Chain A
Amino acid sequence: MTVDTIQPEKKEVGSFKMFQAMVGIGIICALAIVVTYQTTLPVITKNKAEALEKAIYKVLPGAQTRKNFQWDGQKFSEADPSDHSLKDVIYTGLDANGAMVGIAIEARGQGFQDAIQVLYGFDPEKQAIIGFYVLDSRETPGLGDKIVSDAAFQENFKALTARLDESGKKLEHDIQTVKHGTKSKPWEIDAITGATISSKAVGNILNHSAQYWAPIIKAHIDELRTH
C-alpha cells in the first residue's frame, strides 16, 4: 500500500451542521411519536378502563357502573375516571338502580418474591370485605400464585369482617391469616397449604389497607353517596 491510497481525513464538520442534523432528526422522531400517541391513546385508555372495570365488577358483585373518588386528606371528590395517574383513588360500584354496592380499593404490599398488588371490595354497610382480586403478583408459580386462583382461598373473601371498634379509628379485630383448616373467626383468612408466606402477605396487605381506609370511609360515607 502506498501513502496515496490512505484517504485524507474528512473535513471537520461544523457544530452548526451537527446541530442541524440532530434537530432535524429530532423533529422527525418527535413527529412519529406524537402521531402514534394520538392514534393509540383512545384504544389504550379504553383497554385500561376495561381491565380496571372488569376487576372492580369482580370484587363488587352486582355492580354495573363505577365512579372514581380521590381522597385528598380532608374529603373525597369525584375524579376523572379516565385519569390513571391520580393517587389515593377508590372506586364505588353502583348497581342498576344507582345504589352503592360497595367500594373497590387498591392495595399493595410485599409478597414472597415481589410486591403483590390487589383490589378488594369493601361493603361499608356490613363492614366487611366482599371480594378480592389479584391485579399483579410474581409469586412462585404452583405455590404462591395460588392466591390468584385457589377457589378455597377466594372463599375467604366472600365475607371477611373488617369492623371498626368503638373509637372508629381502627379495626376491632386485625385481619389475620391462620393455618389452613383452622379458620374459626370471621376476620381470619384460611391460608393455602404450602403457600403460607404468600397467604400471610395477602392478610397483611388487606389488614394494613383496611386499617387505613375503613375509618376514612366511615367518616366520609356521605361524600361517596351523594355524588
Chain B
Amino acid sequence: MESKPKGKLAGFFHFPQGDGLSTDEFIKGLWRENPVLVQVLGMCPTLAVTNSAINAMAMGLATLFVLVMSNILVSSLRNVIPKQVRIATYILIIATFVTVADYVIQAISLDVHKALGAFIPLIVVNCIILGRAEAFASKNGVWASFMDGLGMGVGFTYALLLLGFIREILGSGSLFGISLFADSFQDWVIMILPSGGFFALAGWLLLFNGLKLRKKQAQPEQTREEVLI
C-alpha cells in the first residue's frame, strides 16, 4: 500500500519495499495479461505491420518506448492532472512520445519508416497505451508503472515478433531479411498480404489458448485422481 500522498509529487520516488510486486507487474504483461495474445488489443498494428520480422520489431520497440515513457509521465503527474481533462492530457502525452519515436525511426532508417508508414502515427490510438495510462499509471507509483509499461511493451513486442517470424519465413523464405532457403523455395504470398496476418494470429491464439486450457485442466484432474485413490 502506498503511504498517504503528502504533496503533489508524492509517490514519485516511492519504491516498494519488496521487489516482488513490481516484478509481478512486469511478468503479467509477458504471459497472463499479454496485450496481444490474451487481451487481443492493438490489432491494427499487430495485423498490418508484422509482414516481416524487422517491421514487427520496429513497431514493437516504438510502442514499447511510447508505453514506458507515457506510463512514467502519467504516473508522476497523476496528482497534478485534474480528473476532468485526464484523457485529453494522456493523449497529449502519448502523442508527444509518438512524434519523438517517429523522428527517431526516420533518423535510424528511412526504409523501416516507409514500411511502417501510417502505423507509427497510429500508435497514438493504440488502445494498449491509453489503457495502461488510464487503468494502471494513473493509480500507481512511478516504479510500478514503469515495470507495468515495460512488461506490456515487451509482451507486445514479442507477440508481434512471433507473428513476424511466421509471416516472413513462410511469406518470403527469410528472417530479418536474410534468406533462409535456396532460391527454389516457394513463397506463400498470402502470408505477407493482410489476410496472412489473420491466419498467423489465429494460429498463435489457438496455440496459446490450447496451452492455457491444458494447464487449467491439469489441476482439477490431479485432485480428481486423489479423490479416486
A residues with a Cβ closer than 8 A to B are 10, 13, 17-18, 21-22, 24-26, 29, 32-33, 36-37, 40, 43-44, 47-48, 51, 136, 140-143
Contacts and interface: CB of A to CB of B under 8 A. Distances in A.
B192 A141 contact: yes
B122 interface: no
Contact of B103 (A36, A51, A143): A36
23 contacts: A13-B84, A18-B82, A18-B84, A18-B85, A21-B80, A21-B82, A21-B89, A22-B89, A25-B81, A25-B89, A32-B100, A33-B99, A36-B99, A40-B103, A40-B106, A44-B106, A44-B110, A47-B107, A48-B110, A136-B114, A141-B171, A141-B187, A141-B189
A18 B88 CA distance: 11
B83 A13 contact: yes
Contacts of A47: 106-107, 109-110
Contact of B82 (A17, A29, A142, A143): A17
Contacts of B77: 25
B171 to A, nearest CB: 7
A44 B107 contact: yes
Nearest to A10: B83
A41 B97 CA distance: 16
B104 interface: yes
Contacts of A48: 110
A22 B88 contact: yes
B101 to A, nearest CB: 9
Given A18-B82, A43-B107, 5 more contacts: A21-B81, A32-B97, A36-B104, A40-B103, A141-B171
A29 to B, nearest CB: 4
A10 B114 CA distance: 48
A13 B192 CA distance: 51
Contacts of A143: 189
A21 B96 CA distance: 16
Could you say which of B85, B93, B114, B189 has the most chain A C-beta atoms within 10 Å of its C-beta? B85
A22 B104 CA distance: 26
Contacts of A25: 77, 81, 89, 92-93
A10 B83 CA distance: 10
B187 A142 contact: yes
A37 B106 contact: no
A92 B96 CA distance: 39
Contacts of B172: 141
A33 B92 CA distance: 12
Top 5 closest pairs, chain A to chain B, by CB: A29-B96, A43-B107, A40-B107, A13-B82, A40-B103
A29 B92 CA distance: 8
Could you say which of B83, B106, B114, B187 has the most chain A C-beta atoms within 10 Å of its C-beta? B106
Contacts of A40: 103-104, 106-107
A201 to B, nearest CB: 19
